[in-house]
Amino acid sequence: MTRVDVVGIDPGPVPGVVALQFRDRVLVHTEVLQCSASLAPTLVRAVLEHLGSGVVPTWVQLERFVTGRRSSRSSTAGAGQTTRDLVGELTQVAQTEGALVVQHSAGLVKPWATDARLEAAGLLTATKGMRHAKDAARHALYVATRDAAQPDPLSKDWRTS
């Protein structure tokens, strides 16, 4: 039996975290979290420990935070700094737990990780009402298919248990 775990993280003042567990290329378990920035490192560490990171291949996809015109429209003046700090802290947590850390920008992930893909994976309902968790789900699916060689939810190979 081959097991692969992936965690997608949407960092920021209200981070979203989605963990997907695959066995033999079948999605068997999902965890969805949305929390405060101060709790995120502790919760991500707990999720990685629960998954068995370091023992099982675990990919962590952190949204690459890009400073630009859009980021200047953050809800608070400190939101950008909070996000940059959190990306660094979560990267360190994931690496300490033995995870493989990758970063892709939202501009790359969001056009691919459509609501249709989230729906096919069962993640649209799971993240309902949690905007940041929904974005984390997009990152989790992206890293699962692009980096961890799991099937695309819109392909004939996609299965859930």
What whole-number distance in Å separates Cα of residue 65 and Cα of residue 62?
9
Range of the domain at 128: 3-146
What whole-number distance in Å separates Cα of residue 146 and Cα of residue 161?
21
pLDDT tens sequence for the chain (161 residues) = 899 999 999 999 999 999 999 999 999 999 999 999 999 999 999 999 999 888 889 999 998 876 555 544 555 667 788 888 999 999 999 999 999 999 999 999 999 999 999 999 999 999 999 999 999 999 999 999 999 999 999 999 999 98
Number of domains observed in the structure of the chain:
1
- 116 occurs within a structural domain: yes
- 159 occurs within a structural domain: no
User: What pLDDT sits at residue 77?
Assistant: 61
User: What pLDDT sits at residue 75?
Assistant: 58
- 44 occurs within a structural domain: yes
What whole-number distance in Å separates Cα of residue 144 and Cα of residue 57?
11
- 37 occurs within a structural domain: yes
**How does DSSP classify residue 114?**
-
Return the residue matching tokens 């290329």.
Answer: 25
Q: What is the CATH number of the domain that holds 122?
A: 3.30.420.10
| Residue ranges in 8-159 assigned as alpha helix (H) | 40-51, 79-96, 106-112, 115-120, 123-126, 131-146
Residue 94 exposed, middle or buried by CB count within 10 Å (0-12, 13-18, 19+): buried
- 52 occurs within a structural domain: yes
User: What pLDDT sits at residue 72?
Assistant: 45
| Other beta carbons less than 10 A from residue 55's beta carbon | 10
User: What pLDDT sits at residue 71?
Assistant: 47
Max Cα distance, the chain (Å) = 48
- 154 occurs within a structural domain: no
User: What pLDDT sits at residue 55?
Assistant: 85
- 123 occurs within a structural domain: yes
